[in-house]
Amino acid sequence: MANIKEIARMAGVSVTTVSRVLNNHPYVSEVKRTAVLTTIEKLNYTRDMNAVHLITGRTQAIAVIIPYTNLFYFSVIIAGLAQEALLAQYRLVLCQTDYRTEEEIKVLEMLRNKEIDGVVMVSSTMSSEAIEEYTAYGPIVVCQDRGERQFSSVYIEHYSAFRSGLQYLNDKGYRHIGYCEGRPYGSSSSIRQIAFRDFLAATDHPYIDEWMIYNCVTEEDGARVLHQLLQMKNRPDALIISAGDHIAAGLIIEAWKKGIRIPEDLAVIGFDDQPIGRTLGLTTVDNQLTEMGISAFQIIYDQIQRNDGQPVHRKLEYRIIERNTV
């Protein structure tokens, strides 16, 4: 197999010149660059990337921990990450974990073993203390508010975002409010549940356990929620769906089939500002998911380039988008 010295000899240039061409260094004459590239093609030369990584100390790859690949929330964050990674000529290694801690640890072990340059944890079950143990091996960015930790974070305040959605419904005159959630015991879910109870207590609105509906993940779950509401003797007059606009869309479409008017019979507010929600005219809370992915990559890329483990904590601003379902 050809090596750099052989390329240099055949091209009539120095080894340094060959190295500069391989690394796209600007200070090489076009004549020498052409000679090197022609020789590389003639010899069918392939770089030993393991050797390159040993020399540079970088792999040009970042691992992304996501529990699932088929949910809009995660896919939009990844889209923001991918947009910036492409500009920086970095590879993303997507690692689906199904919220299994042992799978998340496997990814962080890749960081310890220098297989990747950093880790973005979009959503995780690991404790903050367990994550901090791996910050000695490279930069980690978590897309959740974990407080002032040794790893970086980019996030929205789920408590205030959820309270804002509830306040919006209250200001529109709704007093009997139900709530749809994904995982009942996730960290963000727990924060929203506290916000829901605090809001009801502050406004003296009734808390009805039957109106708290969990495990809403797909559009079909939204249709299921509509059927649950129809079976209730005492139904809420408004519903806030924190697990995503696609679930609200499933509910709205099923409501049309059953002759339930939105918002006259049931007001609905969603989360995440998804395309299907925009198509249906859904009022929603925009969580700035694309910006979250962009910010997460920018933070970790800057830390890699500076070789700086100083944590960065960036809070994004949410907004309520008013449409036709409230």
259 Cβ partners below 8 Å, 6+ apart? Answer: none
Q: What is the pLDDT of residue 54?
A: 47
pTM listed for this prediction: 0.79
Stretch 40-60: mean pLDDT, rounded? 65
Taking CA atoms, 324 is separated from 219, 240, 262, 268, in Å, by 19, 14, 8, 9
Q: Which of 167, 160, 288, 179 is nearest to 228 (CA)?
A: 179
| Whole-angstrom distance, CA of residue 157 vs CA of residue 6 | 58
119 Cβ partners below 8 Å, 6+ apart? Answer: 62, 63, 64, 65, 107, 108, 110, 111, 134, 138, 139, 140, 141, 300
Residue 163 has pLDDT above 90, yes or no: yes
Q: What is the pLDDT of residue 236?
A: 97
What six digits make up the tokens of 14?
Answer: 């120095």
| Whole-angstrom distance, CA of residue 296 vs CA of residue 81 | 7
| Whole-angstrom distance, CA of residue 193 vs CA of residue 242 | 10
| Whole-angstrom distance, CA of residue 122 vs CA of residue 127 | 14
Instruction: Report which DSSP code applies to 9.
Output: H
Instruction: List, for residues 79-133, the tens digit of each pLDDT value.
Output: 999 999 999 989 999 999 999 999 999 999 999 999 999 999 999 999 999 999 9
